[in-house]
Chains A and B, each alone.
Chain A
Amino acid sequence: MNTVLKSFLSMSFSGGLLILILLFGKRFLKDRISRQWQYYIWLVVVLRLLLPFGPPVSLLGDAYQAVDQAFEQNSPASLQQPPMNNPGDVSDHAASMKQAKENADSPTDDLTASHPLQDIITLLIDHRWLVWLIIALGLLIRKITIYQSFIRYIKAGLNPVSDIEMLDRLSMTAQQTSVKKPVELCVNPLVSSPLLIGFFRPCIVLPCTDIPKKDFQYIVLHELTHYKRRDIFYKWLVQITVCLHWFNPLVYLMSREITGACEFSCDEAVLAKMGCGIAQDYGKTLLDAMAAVGKYKEKLGAVTLSENKQLLKERLGAIMKFKTPSKKVKILTAVLTLCIVIGASFVGIYTGGDVQAASPDTPPDTIDRPLQAKRQQNNGQEAASQIEQYYNADSVPLFQIAFSRLDEETQDKWLDRIYTDDRIAFWGAAVGLLEEDCALIRRYAEKTYADDSVSWFSVLAMHMSEDTLEAWLDKALEDQNPSFQSVLFNALEQDDESDKLREKLEKEWAAAQTAEYEAVGVTMDGMDYYYQGQLAGIFLDIRSNNSFCTLHTNPKGTVNLKIVRNEKNEITGVAYMTESEVTELMGDMEDPDNNTDPEIIPVDFKTVTAGEPVFLGDYTLSVGDRILYDVFAETGNRIRVFFAKDAPKKGQKDMVYYWAASILRQPGEPLKCTADFTVEPPAKSGTYKLYLQAPDDSLGNVKGHISIAPAAVP
């Protein structure tokens, strides 16, 4: 509920600014601009003060947020609160829970102890919205009772005028001003000047019937104009505003200003109706009406002919100066109105919206949950401090949660930091939260592309729209950047056309690659690499940014080779791998020493019919097991090897494949299905069926083996 109060405060502030602008403008334009306008333009301010709507972008929005944060920090209530729980650190969490519990117990202790006053103040601050509301209601009720007693006072001595002639004149004036409702005419000697009461049934109250004809007409005209314009509703709207914004001194100023403007504009309307010729007479009527000194001071809520002497003097001046507005003034008025209305709508209010939007799951704050409400306010700030901890503690999921609560600027900083620190796991977590094609994605795509950081770019590519991806692909093609092309092709989920393009490009890459290797003396024969006539047992090529690597092993090889690259990723030479490097690499790859004997499933088929999966047996797999496919086909286009829980049925679409490898023949090369998997969660240990399938057309002379290596025994 304090959020409501906060938006109210901001509305009050925005409204206050508008009031100041209008008051300032009035000094220059008072006599030049229509009084009607001067009266109704306040309505804009009143609406600004009452309606909690604002455009998402507002002039003062940021300022309010800043003030809000400062206020939250200084508020004694928030100082008394336990620090935000820190889910990253269990001991901290427990500590804060304990503290929270202590805090919950403390109020009673404190009351009996030394600071009862401080406690009450804290309570008041915690429930400041309630304080505000109670005062506002109190003021409103007081205004209403005063008005009621005033009406009672007027009605007590009320005598209906039975003079037909007078009533007839009133009728005629009413017809002139096109007031449809019957207007009651009464006399009450207690009122000092003529006034109008009644929201829906207008009643003009005169101090006496003994009024010259002309005066009577002006008075009636004036009061009927008030009624016609529903001034009494406007006045009450202003009164409600004043009550709600009781803490804002400018609002009282505005109320006074509107009361004045109301009479001015009413005078203006009367004069406009009757013509300027009557200005003098009308002024005299006003003076006569003032001759009787008010006997009942309270004028609240009623519309009277004259409010006070100072105002009267000004009104007389205005009446004498009255002239029909020129075209220039009309245009100026229109422009000013537009400015003020736009100003009013864009000056903005505090919206708790963006803070709440970040944590939509938090329940709506209620009276019982002042703490909850405050937490929401603090979310942004706390996330900023927590994220540091999570990052240092290497906790990606928590980091991700905290990251989601940050504003864009801070998110930018963090992305930059992750990138500099080269921690791609965090990168994936953070980028995953960003919106598709948002500014951050675009910026970092540029950056990573410029830096040639393919893997970083590929994460970003997952959060790009198709159009953006295509634009990037065009760029990559133009720049002849194969690694980026491949990433982008993958991200684009290629259709037939791009499939062909891709094939073509892949061939080009392969050719370029071969040419590069040949430049340093490595030649290729099929899939095998040779250096100085010797078959390479291990061939390793790692780019400097770890983005792309070629690794080929052939057990028959006699030398272990590695390609040496400089920082610019250019191949500078080829080197033999040292023994330790080989051990490290092979250890990484297979851990052969720890393995017990793998189960080898030989594959040897003359033909495999298209479509029909060939069942190769049930195998029990457990988490950690490694699966290796190594199957060749002499003829045919595509080969697929996979495990499944259940036997696939014909035409089944929602088939779940496990560790599936589907290989398309590369032109000019043998069809070879090699793949390497580890049984990992979410896949569970259990019995799986192994299948070999020819998805496109039938295969001929399928040979090779599939091996299942049990998990390493620790």
Chain B
Amino acid sequence: MLQQISDAELEIMKIVWGNPDEVTLFPYIMNELTKKGRPCQKNTLIVLLSRLMNKGFLSARKIGRRNEYTTLVSETEYQTAQTKNFLNKIYEGSAKGLVSNLIMGDLLADEEYEELKKLLEKGNKES
């Protein structure tokens, strides 16, 4: 069971997930945040990163004076967990309710609807 993370922490996690390199360095995150237009103080970032480490999302390897951060939770894992959470909270665990809401509420674009349909059929055949 993954712990909840705050928006600011998620922002950082996204940067780390988005990094093609195996390990992420502190200045990289700092840069990305500035690029996104959400700059923050050094201490703030350190605090947020240490919170993520405490929550088991990141691990840090100290090399000299710099930390090399690696993810312990993949983006998909996180998304699945969050979706489950969402399903439980809003639809009481019923995925049908979610999908029907997506369709009925016109939340899906036409292309997305087609893709989803294919995905469902494919999944049926396999099982």
Q: Does A174 contact B (CB under 8 A)?
A: yes
Known A170-B43, A174-B43, A183-B43: A164·B38 in contact at CB below 8 Å: yes
Which residues of chain B are within 8 angstroms of A383 by Cβ–Cβ distance? none
Interface string of A177-213 (1 = CB under 8 A from B): 0000011110000000000000000000000000000
Most B C-beta atoms less than 10 A away, residue of A171, A172, A175, A185: A171
| A171 B6 Cβ-Cβ under 8 A | no
Separation of A170 and B45 alpha carbons in the complex (Å): 12
| A171 B8 Cβ-Cβ under 8 A | no
User: Distance in Å from the Cβ of A693 to the closest Cβ of chain B?
Assistant: 85
Closest to B51 in A: A160
Which residues of chain A are within 8 angstroms of B127 by Cβ–Cβ distance? none
| A164 B47 Cβ-Cβ under 8 A | no
Which residues of chain B are within 8 angstroms of A175 by Cβ–Cβ distance? 41, 43
Which residues of chain B are within 8 angstroms of A185 by Cβ–Cβ distance? 47
Q: Which one, B6, B7, B44, contacts A168 given CB within 8 A?
A: B44
Separation of A656 and B106 alpha carbons in the complex (Å): 125
Which residues of chain B are within 8 angstroms of A164 by Cβ–Cβ distance? 8, 38, 40, 44
Separation of A536 and B42 alpha carbons in the complex (Å): 116
Interface string of A143-171 (1 = CB under 8 A from B): 00000000000000000101110011011
Q: List residues 116-160 of chain A with CB under 8 A from any CB of chain B.
A: 160
Closest to A162 in B: B6
| A171 B51 Cβ-Cβ under 8 A | no
| B41 A171 Cβ-Cβ under 8 A | yes
Which residues of chain A are within 8 angstroms of B102 by Cβ–Cβ distance? none
| A182 B7 Cβ-Cβ under 8 A | no
Which residues of chain B are within 8 angstroms of A168 by Cβ–Cβ distance? 40-41, 44
Which residues of chain A are within 8 angstroms of B51 by Cβ–Cβ distance? 160, 184
Which residues of chain A are within 8 angstroms of B46 by Cβ–Cβ distance? 182
Q: Which one, B9, B38, B42, B50, contacts A171 given CB within 8 A?
A: B42
Q: List residues 57-77 of chain B with CB under 8 A from any CB of chain A.
A: none
Closest to B47 in A: A182
Most A C-beta atoms less than 10 A away, residue of B6, B47, B48: B47
| B9 A162 Cβ-Cβ under 8 A | yes
Separation of A184 and B50 alpha carbons in the complex (Å): 9
Q: List residues 1-44 of chain B with CB under 8 A from any CB of chain A.
A: 6-9, 38, 40-44
How many interface residues does A have (CB within 8 Å)? 15
Q: Which one, A160, A170, A172, A184, contacts B6 given CB within 8 A?
A: A160
State the total of A-B contacts with C-beta under 8 angstroms: 42
Interface size class of B (residues with CB under 8 A): 10 to 19
| A167 B40 Cβ-Cβ under 8 A | yes
User: Distance in Å from the Cβ of B8 to the closest Cβ of chain A?
Assistant: 5
Which residues of chain B are within 8 angstroms of A174 by Cβ–Cβ distance? 43
Which residues of chain B are within 8 angstroms of A167 by Cβ–Cβ distance? 8, 40-41, 43-44, 47-48
User: Distance in Å from the Cβ of A156 to the closest Cβ of chain B?
Assistant: 16
User: Distance in Å from the Cβ of A623 to the closest Cβ of chain B?
Assistant: 86
Closest to B11 in A: A164
Closest to B7 in A: A162
Which residues of chain A are within 8 angstroms of B47 by Cβ–Cβ distance? 167, 182-185
User: Distance in Å from the Cβ of A680 to the closest Cβ of chain B?
Assistant: 84
Which residues of chain B are within 8 angstroms of A171 by Cβ–Cβ distance? 40-44
Which residues of chain B are within 8 angstroms of A183 by Cβ–Cβ distance? 43, 47
Separation of A167 and B38 alpha carbons in the complex (Å): 13
Most B C-beta atoms less than 10 A away, residue of A164, A184, A185: A164
Closest to A166 in B: B44
Separation of A385 and B38 alpha carbons in the complex (Å): 89
Which residues of chain B are within 8 angstroms of A182 by Cβ–Cβ distance? 43, 46-47, 50
Closest to B9 in A: A162
Separation of A182 and B41 alpha carbons in the complex (Å): 11
Closest to B6 in A: A162
Known A160-B51, A164-B38, A182-B50: A170·B44 in contact at CB below 8 Å: yes
Which residues of chain A are within 8 angstroms of B41 by Cβ–Cβ distance? 167-168, 171-172, 175
| B8 A162 Cβ-Cβ under 8 A | yes
Separation of A163 and B48 alpha carbons in the complex (Å): 11
Separation of A164 and B6 alpha carbons in the complex (Å): 11
Separation of A701 and B46 alpha carbons in the complex (Å): 110
Separation of A174 and B42 alpha carbons in the complex (Å): 11
Separation of A325 and B50 alpha carbons in the complex (Å): 41
Separation of A455 and B46 alpha carbons in the complex (Å): 88
Closest to B50 in A: A182
Which residues of chain A are within 8 angstroms of B48 by Cβ–Cβ distance? 167
User: Distance in Å from the Cβ of B75 to the closest Cβ of chain A?
Assistant: 20
Most B C-beta atoms less than 10 A away, residue of A167, A175, A183, A185: A167
Separation of A160 and B5 alpha carbons in the complex (Å): 10
Which residues of chain B are within 8 angstroms of A160 by Cβ–Cβ distance? 6, 51
Closest to A159 in B: B6
Closest to A180 in B: B43
Which residues of chain A are within 8 angstroms of B8 by Cβ–Cβ distance? 162-164, 167
Which residues of chain A are within 8 angstroms of B50 by Cβ–Cβ distance? 182, 184
Separation of A183 and B8 alpha carbons in the complex (Å): 17
Closest to B38 in A: A164
User: Distance in Å from the Cβ of A158 to the closest Cβ of chain B?
Assistant: 11
Closest to B46 in A: A182
Separation of A172 and B41 alpha carbons in the complex (Å): 7
Separation of A182 and B48 alpha carbons in the complex (Å): 10
User: Distance in Å from the Cβ of A344 to the closest Cβ of chain B?
Assistant: 40
User: Distance in Å from the Cβ of B51 to the closest Cβ of chain A?
Assistant: 6
User: Distance in Å from the Cβ of B72 to the closest Cβ of chain A?
Assistant: 19
Separation of A498 and B30 alpha carbons in the complex (Å): 92
Q: List residues 254-286 of chain A with CB under 8 A from any CB of chain B.
A: none
Closest to B43 in A: A171
Separation of A160 and B6 alpha carbons in the complex (Å): 9
Separation of A184 and B45 alpha carbons in the complex (Å): 11
Separation of A163 and B8 alpha carbons in the complex (Å): 8
Closest to A182 in B: B46
Closest to A185 in B: B47
19 contacts between A and B (CB under 8 A): A162-B8, A163-B8, A164-B40, A164-B44, A167-B8, A167-B40, A167-B48, A168-B41, A168-B44, A170-B43, A171-B40, A171-B44, A175-B41, A175-B43, A182-B43, A182-B50, A183-B43, A184-B47, A184-B51
Q: A167-B44, A184-B50 are in contact. List 11 more A-B contacts (CB 8 A).
A: A160-B6, A167-B8, A167-B40, A167-B41, A167-B47, A168-B41, A170-B43, A171-B42, A174-B43, A182-B50, A185-B47
Using a CB–CB cutoff of 8 Å, the interface residues on chain B facing chain A are 6-9, 38, 40-44, 46-48, 50-51
A-B pairs with lowest CB-CB distance, top 7: A171-B41, A162-B6, A171-B43, A167-B44, A182-B46, A168-B41, A162-B8
